[in-house]
Structure 1
């Protein structure tokens, strides 16, 4: 991904952010009274407002410094989604059996990290370094058996460790959302901040 800084937005602030996923669909009413629904996007896109996560002047200063370093919306970064950043359910521990990545064929050595929401499979492109655990047919593989590209979310098995045909590959991980500021200007009043007014700091997910 071009224009990406591999740094994370201040985590303490992100965990107080509001937001979530967005889909873009087209709904066409028919003359019969029925309707036709078409998906315009193949993947959802997340929006956040980090302003609700600011609790102190120190938080405000850290966000302003981060904003300046990214030059506003120019460079994307890692954002920790407060609601969805684990391969497992909240309150559980990451397990190598959390998410199914695919079946081996004895030749393919590369598998994309994915999180599934029912039938919808979401590619995970920014796993947290060191967090990925992988299993083949339910048996966890050691870190020497595979490598993880933390900039693409691809798991690559080493030569001689490629999953055999029919083998089920699963993984567990924590992850960030690739995102950028959805503005090039921060409007913050110190007087308003002390009075309890929350500044708006819009952040939007970016796609490769």
Structure 2
């Protein structure tokens, strides 16, 4: 299998449904109390893009995209319109949006990440598919316009010189979700106008 660095059509993904999924085991005790255990440390996203098909041309584009990925075999990029920036969806990414590490004087590589904060709790999500040209890097609160590079296929940021000990490294960016089709069959229904429709086209986030 391989990963194709191509994004699913934006005009169709904009009408998709889906979001994060977690796996929790719940055991009900004889007393009626519960014990809850998280099976997954990280969430996994699921989507259904069938809701974004509005025209016959959209259907044709999805079929072509599906065939080119060999069904479930190859992964691809997907824009989650509800969560595709380091900032709020209404904002513009800034170099200070997300803290991605602290310098120690020797480390030159850092992984892009997004922190989800609610109250005293924080969950950190590794970002592996940043959008080319969208990345901004901060160093102790000041934007750094050079001296670094980013791998848009992994989300790794590399500095020419290692940030000094205690230096805060931050980033702002747009990003895609690495996904694959979660079906090897497209069940197309042809209506009277021959536009066609598909009941469900599930996508599943790829986690490595």
Q: Normalising TM by the smaller chain, what interval?
A: over 0.9
| Residue aligning to 2:167 | 167
Structure 1 unmatched runs, 5+ = none
- After superposition, what is the alpha-carbon deviation per residue over 1:106-163, rounded to whole angstroms, capped at 9, x for unaligned? 1111111111112100000111111111101011111x311111111111111xx321
| Residue aligning to 1:139 | 142
2:59–2:197 CA contact under 8 A, matched in 1: no
- After superposition, what is the alpha-carbon deviation per residue over 1:10-57, rounded to whole angstroms, capped at 9, x for unaligned? 111001100010000111122333211111111100010000011111
Compare the two structures and name the one with the higher strand fraction.
2
| Residue aligning to 2:129 | 126
Structure 2 unmatched runs, 5+ = none
Instruction: State the TM-score, normalized to the length of structure 2.
Output: 0.93
Find the aligned partners of 1:3 and 1:198 in 2 and give their Cα distance. 26
Instruction: State the TM-score, normalized to the length of structure 1.
Output: 0.93
2:71–2:183 CA contact under 8 A, matched in 1: yes
1:199 positional shift? 2.9
| Residue aligning to 1:184 | 184
- For the aligned residue pairs, the C-alpha RMSD in angstroms reads 1.6
Is 1:150 the counterpart of 2:155? The answer is: no
Runs of 4+ in 1 over 4 A off after TM superposition: 192-198
- After superposition, what is the alpha-carbon deviation per residue over 1:161-206, rounded to whole angstroms, capped at 9, x for unaligned? 3211111111000000000001001011221786886531111101
2:188–2:197 CA contact under 8 A, matched in 1: no
Find the aligned partners of 2:193 and 2:40 in 1 and give their Cα distance. 38
